[in-house]
Amino acid sequence: MATLEIRDLHVTVEAENATKEILKGVDLTVKQGETHAIMGPNGSGKSTLAYSLAGHPKYTVTGGTVTLDGEDVLAMSVDERARAGLFLAMQYPVEVPGVSVSNFLRTSASAIRGEAPKLRTWVKEVKEAMERLQIDPAFAERNVNEGFSGGEKKRHEILQLELLKPQIAILDETDSGLDVDALRVVSEGVNRVRETGAVGTLLITHYTRILRYIKPDHVHVFAAGRIVESGGAELADKLENEGYEAYVKGGVSA
């Protein structure tokens, strides 16, 4: 069973000629089949955690370890991490002009699976996955994320999640900028993947809204670069009622 273990993770970023520590000792274990929600105020370092796990070069890991089934994730390149089973659904997916969605998906699936999927079954697989996410088939011939609306970009991210079948999925504010209908469609996509039991999900969000659709097993409050409180789904209700104020002002920051 796949397990992602984050131990005492410290991460810095270069900003305006100064090195700033964003993550200040994150500990978290995510197992296949589990869903963890990470919630926290803006600027607490949630997205930094997501991008650091995926290996974005902007962030420097200064301490701690990240392992996937004992393998050192931090020693892997960005593409190696993806092939090892990590997936990051991005908050701001990037436009790639000149590369069609169908070409991108197939190239990506070939890389992840280690061989090109058989064309006939692949076309069917993509078509069905797109239908489930209510994505217009014409999207396949459009350039990756180019001219996509906010909701289309997020559905395209979840389409990749469904097709690439990672062991650990990190969803970075997938709910942001979505109206209720789009949120429901995207959440259903995430739930289909979760129901297979094959994925461990790390759901990063600012709002509790998405948790009405995707029920977490564990909820963690993230503040000032680390997890300051962990609990079950009931912790989300507390945050819904009380907000983050207690964590921001309550002297728990490092």
Partner 1 sequence: MTTAMAEAQNSKDLRQAPVQGSTPPVGSTTTGAIAVAAESTVATRMSASPSFDVADFPVPHGREEEWRFTPLDRLRGLHDGTAVATGQGVKVEVSAPDGVTVETVGRDDERLGRAGVPVDRVAAQAYSSFEKASVVTVPKETVLDTPVRITVHGEPLDGAAATVYGQLVVELGAFAEAVVVVDHTGDAVLAANVDYILGDGAKLTVVSVQDWDDKAVHVGQHNALVGRDASFKSVAVTFGGDLVRLNPRVAYAGPGGEAELFGLYFTDQGQHQEHRLFVDHNTPHCKSNVVYKGALQGEDAHAVWIGDVLIEAGAEGTDTYEMNRNLVLTDGARVDSVPNLEIETGEIVGAGHASATGRFDDEQLFYLMARGIPEHEARRLVVRGFFAELVQQIGLPDVEERLIARIEEELEASVA
d(CA 109, CA 116): 7
Identify residues 210-249 at the interface with partner 1 (CB under 8 A): none
Of the candidates 16, 42, 70, 97, which one interacts with partner 1 according to CB under 8 A?
A: 97
Identify residues 28-67 at the interface with partner 1 (CB under 8 A): 54-58
Q: Does 96 bind partner 1 (CB under 8 A)?
A: yes
Whole-number minimum distance, CB 221 to partner 1, in Å?
A: 27
Q: Does 160 bind partner 1 (CB under 8 A)?
A: yes
Whole-number minimum distance, CB 179 to partner 1, in Å?
A: 24
Q: Identity (one letter) of the amino acid at 214?
A: I
Instruction: Please identify, using beta-carbon distances, which residue of 108 and 253 lies nearer to partner 1.
Output: 108
d(CA 164, CA 81): 13
Q: How is residue 117 annotated by DSSP?
A: P
Sign of CA dihedral 11, 203, 92, 85: positive
- Cα diameter, the chain: 58
Strand partners, 26: 9
Chain-centroid distance, C-alpha 168: 9
Whole-number minimum distance, CB 83 to partner 1, in Å?
A: 5
Whole-number minimum distance, CB 79 to partner 1, in Å?
A: 4
Q: Are 222 and 49 spatial neighbours (Cβ–Cβ below 8 Å)?
A: yes
Identify residues 161-190 at the interface with partner 1 (CB under 8 A): 164
Identify residues 64-93 at the interface with partner 1 (CB under 8 A): 77-79, 81-83, 87-88, 90, 93
d(CA 73, CA 84): 9
Instruction: Please identify, using beta-carbon distances, which residue of 166 and 200 lies nearer to partner 1.
Output: 166
The candidate with the shortest Cα–Cα distance to 54, out of 195, 202, 197, 194, is 202
Identify residues 136-155 at the interface with partner 1 (CB under 8 A): 143-144
Q: Does 198 bind partner 1 (CB under 8 A)?
A: no
Q: How is residue 250 annotated by DSSP?
A: S
Of the candidates 29, 67, 102, 108, which one interacts with partner 1 according to CB under 8 A?
A: 108
Q: Does 107 bind partner 1 (CB under 8 A)?
A: yes
d(CA 49, CA 152): 24
Please report, as ranges, the residues that interact with partner 1 according to CB under 8 A: 54-58, 77-79, 81-83, 87-88, 90, 93-99, 103-104, 107-108, 111-112, 143-144, 160, 164
